[in-house]
Structure formats: C-alpha cells, structure tokens
Amino acid sequence: MAGRSRNLGRFGTLLAMLVLVFGVAPFLQGRLLFGIPIFRVFFNGLFIAGVVAVSGDRRLLTIGIGFAVFAFASSLAQPYSEASWVAFSHYASDAAFLGFIVLAILYRVFQEDRVTGDTVLGGICVYLLLGLAWHVVYSGFEFFAPGSFVVGDVAVRSLHAANTDPANFPELLYFSFVTLTTLGYGEITPHSEPARMLCTAEAITGQLFVAVFIARLVALQVAHAADTRRADADPPG
C-alpha cells in the first residue's frame, strides 16, 4: 500500500502540472517570466513532474532524466539560434520526452493487479499527455511547413510570425484536443496530406486508448471481485 500511495502522489503531481499548463498558462499567453514565455515555464515544469512520476523505477528514472535534460537544454538554446537543426531538436526532444513518459506511465499502470487511485490518475495523465504530445508534433510540422494547418485560409504560423516555440502555437494545442476527442469543430483544419494523416492517427489513438483503458479497468475490477468472493467462500485453513 505504501508503494501505491507514493505512486498516487507522483501521478497527482504530474496531473496538477498538466492542469496548470491547460488551465492557467493560456491566459498568460505572451507574458514573460525572466525573459521566458510563461507557457514555456509551465511546459518545462512538466519535465520535472514527468521524471518524478516514473522515479519509482531506477531504469525509467535514468532514461527520463536523460530525455528531460536534453529537452530542457533544447528549449533554452532554440530562442538564440536560427539554425534548423536546433529548432528540429527542440520539437523532437519535447515530443520524445512526452512519448517516453506516456509509455512509462502505461507500463506502470498496466502492472496494477486491481483498480486503484493510482491506476485512474495514471490513465488521466496519459490521455492529457497524448494531446500535448500531438500538439508538439503539429507545431513542428507547422514550423517547418507553414500552412500545414490553417485557420480559415490563414496559416497558423503566420499568426505568430516571430514565434518558433511550440508553446506559441496555442491554436494547435486546442486543435489537438479537439482531434483527440473527435469533436471536430472545424475552424482549424489540416491543409496538407501529412497533416491530415497525423490528425487521423491522433483521432484513432484517442479512441483506442479510451476503449482499451476502460476495458482494462473493468477486467481488473471483475478479477478483483472474483478473487474476493473466492476468498470469502474458502473455509479458513
């Protein structure tokens, strides 16, 4: 139980940081903290919270720290360089780190033998991280191929001509979750074929995750209930 309580705290910290990213940072768009965009400050906070979330496994912790350090360093270097490889490493390291954290949490969650608060919080974190990871991927595409995503007939990047940070494409954060949940409002649309295929992949990922995760919760609960009934029915030895 002590292990589960510690995991609950780790996933709870990550979920709290995700809530800050989605609920607070967008209202501070354009504001700076020590010269760094507020959104980016919160985004970098996810690196710390993500590492904490997987800190119970030394191997995962080591890999997570490596990803986080590289992503953090790329985010600091990118505003001071116009080199394409620096921008690419910035987007790629963010996406790789988020992808790693998703897989690491899934590994921990699917090891559970019954439904706990840890299981539920981990699943919520994974779902939110999926939307955030796709946002970074979309932003990278829009940065390197302006017009991949449009608002009406206007390329998203043209709305932020001087910005090179995925945190500065808030339209694509919104668009990512509209796609993940298959709401499809339609005011932002993928304009290129690669962008359309990415959106299709995200929509499928979102639906599959919800279906598989709920099925896993039901299976764990049914198995736990069966074990409890069996234990109650067996006479004490």
Stated pTM of the model: 0.85
Grouping H, G, I as helix, E, B as strand and the rest as coil, residue 188 is strand
* CA end-to-end distance (rounded Å), the chain: 25
**φ, ψ dihedrals at 94, nearest 5°:** -60, -50
Least Cα distance to 105 among 120, 92, 83 occurs for 120
pLDDT the model gives residue 1 = 41
pLDDT the model gives residue 188 = 92
pLDDT the model gives residue 10 = 76
201 Cα distance to chain centroid: 15
In order along its 237 residues, the chain shows pLDDT tens digits of: 444 444 556 788 889 889 888 877 667 666 666 556 677 777 778 888 888 888 777 888 888 888 888 887 877 776 666 677 778 888 888 899 999 999 988 888 887 777 778 788 888 999 999 999 999 999 999 989 999 999 988 998 888 766 555 556 888 989 999 999 998 888 999 999 999 999 999 999 999 999 988 888 888 877 767 666 666 666 555
Residues constituting the chain: 237
Q: What angle do CA 213, 216, 221 make, to 5 degrees?
A: 130
**Cβ of 203: how many Cβ atoms within 10 Å?**
17
User: Running DSSP on this structure, what letter comes out for residue 113?
Assistant: S
118 Cα distance to chain centroid: 17
Q: Which two tokens stand for residue 120?
A: 């539920």
- Residues with Cβ < 8 Å from 210, sequence gap 6 or more? 127
Least Cα distance to 119 among 33, 224, 231 occurs for 224
Least Cα distance to 76 among 46, 49, 44 occurs for 44
Alpha helices in the chain (DSSP H): 2-23, 38-53, 58-77, 84-109, 117-144, 170-180, 193-233
pLDDT the model gives residue 127 = 94
Least Cα distance to 91 among 30, 168, 200, 199 occurs for 168
Place of tokens 């997987």: 54
With beta carbons less than 8 A apart as the criterion, state whether 21 and 42 touch.
Answer: yes
User: Running DSSP on this structure, what letter comes out for residue 160?
Assistant: G
